[in-house]
Amino acid sequence: MAAQPQVRNATDAGSAPEDLEKHPVDETLPPLKMLTSGLQHVAAMYAGVVAPPLIVGAAIGLSGTELTFLTGASLFTAGLATFLQTLGVWKIGAKLPFVNGVTFAGVAPMLAIVNTTENKADALPVIFGAIIVAGLLGFAAAPFFSRLVRFFPPVVTGSVITLIGVSLLPVAFGWAQGPNPKAEDYGSTTYLSLAGITLVVVLLLRRFTRGFLKQVAVLVGLVLGTIIAIPFGVTDFSPVKEADLVGFPTPFHFGAPQFALAAIVSMCVVMLVSMTESTADMLALGEIVERPADAKTIAAGLRADTLGSALSPLFNGFMCSAFAQNIGLVAMTRIRSRFVVACGGGFLVLFGLSPVAASLISVVPRPVLGGAGVVLFGSVAASGIQTLVKAGLEKDNNVLIVAVSLAVGIIPITKPEFYHAFPETAKIILDSGISTGCVAAVLLNFVFNHLGRGRDADEVTAPMEPGEEISGTAGAKAAHAH
């Protein structure tokens, strides 16, 4: 449990009353532990930050140099957004150990914008203009959006947290199979073995070590996995050799932002999806660090997300959102300090300003990341299950909410083409299992637990033991329920 606030006795040593004891979220750690733990957060989310700019940049046809620039800009803006979220300014920032980075929800609509832009040189300015507008509108809507928190009880948050973990696990499995899905060796025994070795290393460190080494098990596992991968020819050091030492993301490097109505509408939809996922992530993280996120915290967190998104295009970055994979790292390591994550934000800014530094992280092979990702993302799902334990699953209503919302959320994972006949705008939401599951859980909770409260007491009808009569325990439960 979280440390409870305590007031020191004013008579101790004749001193005046001290401040309340700090919550673990607000504690600072020793410098070495702070740096290594912050770097571990960067390692966990690095691939997710660089993937969207690489995909969009490649679709536009950017050169290798321009791709490196766009990737560095995404790292830089992710660091700035993380500062906003963890340290906070005025009423901006949840002040939780929350990592922000480029949201993957925007990749599909950005590719659509690229494909519909006649002059590819205008694609990025159009995308940036749409993100600026969506970010500003989201910032204005944040306090109203946060009032929905009362519709996120444990039965909803537990379902969403579980979905977050389950939705991220396929990412880890994809990493484990290799860097290129089209390559002949994709999913080879070499790649899968490296992922398995990394997973085993992390598990052994978590099981047989203590203290600091146990807490940075993921980082150590990534380092050892990368070293082990060298003889197999999987570790590529060429990015380090080719990268420049210093590089600053020049404002509006690709041109001044342009404002196209269709692009703005599509990015506003992405912003709503991002805000929904961020709300769920904040509720999840609040449970994990034992500082529940209320409406005020969520509003501040959403302001950081949306303001970070609005400012990112200034430095050639994309829409920013919370990174769920880092929630798993917090859950696993139990290091709850927001200053550790702020330190990770500092690394992101550094990597964005120094392509050489950024390339060091990119040396880690995808299969190695995949092995560590199984632990990280699985920890998120486990946290969701822990929350569901407190959700009152003895009630039929809550069981139905969990059952249907999980089923709806898993559809895009198990059947990626399930919504292929829907319009592209609709698929932005439907293809996100976290978003659809969250919406389903909220709506079902409203219908079952807010409308007609008289049925809230309905208990799950457990199967009777052989020979048990209805007039026995089961009958007593039914009578009590009615």
Q: What is the DSSP string of 31-78?
A: HHHHHHHHHHHHHHHHHHHHHHHHHHHHHHT--HHHHHHHHHHHHHHH
Which of 103-112, 234-243, 377-386, 448-457 has the weakest average pLDDT?
448-457
pLDDT of residue 472: 40
Has residue 223 got a pLDDT over 70?
yes
Q: Can you give the residue ranges of every domain in the chain?
A: 22-455
| pLDDT tens profile 270-325 | 788 788 778 878 888 888 888 888 888 899 999 999 999 999 999 999 998 888 76
Burial of 193 (0-12, 13-18, 19+ CB in 10 A): middle
How confident is the model over 35-52, as pLDDT tens digits?
Answer: 888 888 887 777 678 778
Region 192-196: mean pLDDT is 95
72 pLDDT exceeds 50? yes
pLDDT at 64: 65
pLDDT beyond 80 at 458 = no
Q: Distance between alpha carbon 394 and the CA centroid of its chain, in Å?
A: 30
Tell me the average pLDDT across 148-175.
81
In the chain, the N- to C-terminal Cα span, in Å, equals 36
> 203-217, 299-313, 363-377: which has the highest mean pLDDT?
299-313
Say whether pLDDT at 462 is over 90.
Answer: no
pLDDT digits (tens, 9 = 90+) for 411-436: 988 888 898 888 866 776 677 777 78
Would you say 319 and 309 are in contact if contact means Cβ atoms under 8 Å apart?
yes
Residue 10 has pLDDT above 50, yes or no: no
How much of the chain, in percent, has pLDDT values that exceed 70?
85
Question: Does pTM top 0.85 for this prediction?
Answer: no
Per-residue model confidence (pLDDT) at position 362: 66
Tell me the pLDDT tens digit for each residue of 61-70.
887 677 778 8
Question: What pLDDT is recorded for position 135?
Answer: 94
Q: Give the range with max mean pLDDT: 6-15, 66-75, 451-460.
A: 66-75
pLDDT of residue 481 exceeding 60, the answer is no
What pLDDT is recorded for position 339? 93
Give the residue-averaged pLDDT of 91-105.
85
| Contact between 124 and 130 (Cβ < 8 Å) | no
Report the pLDDT value the prediction gives residue 118, as an integer from 0 to 100.
78
pLDDT value for 197 = 95
Please give the angle made by the CA atoms of 168, 193 and 166, to the nearest 5 degrees. Answer: 15
Euclidean distance between CA atoms 176 and 365, whole angstroms? 9
Mean pLDDT, residues 360-387 taken together: 82
Distance, in Å, from the CA atom of 325 to the CA atom of 1, rounded to the nearest integer, reads: 23
Asked if the model's pLDDT at residue 468 lies above 70, the reply is no
The reported pLDDT for the residue numbered 3 is: 41
**Backbone phi, psi, residue 320, to 5°:** -105, 145
Residue 321's DSSP bridge partners are 101
Question: Using CA atoms, how far apart are residues 377 and 327, in angstroms rounded to an integer?
Answer: 8
In this predicted structure, the answer to whether residue 19 has a pLDDT above a threshold of 60 is: no
Instruction: Evaluate if residue 106 carries a pLDDT over 80.
Output: no
Give the span between the Cα atoms of 201 and 372, in whole angstroms: 9
Report whether 271 contacts 137 (CB < 8 A): yes
Token pair belonging to 217: 């098990």
The per-residue pLDDT for 134 is: 94
**91 neighbors 298 (Cβ within 8 angstroms):** no
Closest alpha carbon to 299 in 279, 324, 277, 269: 279
State the alpha helices, DSSP H only, in 94-244: 107-116, 123-146, 154-177, 189-208, 211-215, 217-229, 238-242
pLDDT of 463 over the 60 cut:
no
Q: Side chain identity at 128, as an amino acid letter?
A: F
* Residue recorded with tokens 């204005």: 140
Q: Which of 443, 132, 144 is nearest to 308 (CA)?
A: 132
d(CA 140, CA 144): 8
Stretch 437-450: mean pLDDT:
88
Q: Between these two residues, 192 and 416, which has the higher pLDDT value? A: 192
Contacts of 94 (CB under 8 A, 6+ apart): 85, 88, 282, 293, 297, 298, 300, 301, 304
d(Cα 288, Cα 481) in Å, to the nearest integer?
33
Query: How far is 155 from 171, CA to CA, in rounded Å?
Result: 26
Give the pLDDT score at 478. 39
> Closest by alpha carbon to 380, among 171, 159, 165, 217?
165
Query: Predicted confidence band at 79 (pLDDT cuts at 50, 70, 90)?
Result: very high
